[in-house]
Amino acid sequence: MESTGTTFRVRTANWAEDGAALRSVREAVFVAEQGVPVELEWDGLDPGCRHLLAEDAQGRPIGCARLLPDGHMGRMAVVAPWRGRGVGRALLRAMLAQAAAAGFSIVRLNAQVQALGFYAREGFQAWGDVFDDAGIEHRAMQLALQGH
């Protein structure tokens, strides 16, 4: 799966081959920028997940996302200079297409509260109370994949 924007592309990534690139985005966004403890970020689940990697025109990693075997999406991140340029939307839509192709009827995620609007614009519905995850407020969201 590959999607090309004017200055970036989103492609399917393999943890064994692309782990360093995926790690670089997550380290920059979650660990360095947002202060997520390293031991929480690296939960050991990555080898069993589907991954997407966004790269700039020179092939440098600029965004990522993963889908767990149970249909939960997470670890979606875009490095700061690339935010607001469609990278997150491209990653999200590509991951929803992968989830649908894998046979999932619902995708769930735990969104950071500041990103609720981003996911809502793509059709996700929030449910439940706000909760703390790694010192950041989150809320559960889900999307039924009919028509995606």
pTM score of the predicted model = 0.91
* Whole-number Cα distances in Å, 38 to 28, 47, 130, 146, 147: 11, 17, 23, 36, 37
Looking at residues 18-30, what average pLDDT do you find? 97
* Per CATH, domain 2-144 is 3.40.630.30: yes
Q: How confident is residue 146, by pLDDT bands cut at 50, 70 and 90?
A: confident
Q: How many CA atoms lie within 13 A of 123 on its CB side?
A: 11
* pLDDT digits 0-9 by tens, 40-81: 999 999 999 999 999 999 999 999 999 999 999 999 999 999
Q: How confident is residue 26, by pLDDT bands cut at 50, 70 and 90?
A: very high
> Quick one: tokens of 85?
């340029």
Per-residue pLDDT at 29 exceeds 70: yes
Task: Tell me if 75 sits within 8 A of 26, measured CB to CB.
Answer: yes
Sort 52 into a burial class: Cβ within 10 Å, 0-12 / 13-18 / 19+: buried
Residue that has been written with the tokens 């979606």 in this structure: 76
Q: How confident is residue 1, by pLDDT bands cut at 50, 70 and 90?
A: very low
Per-residue pLDDT at 4 exceeds 60: no
Rounded distance between C-alpha atoms, residue 127 and residue 112, angstroms: 13
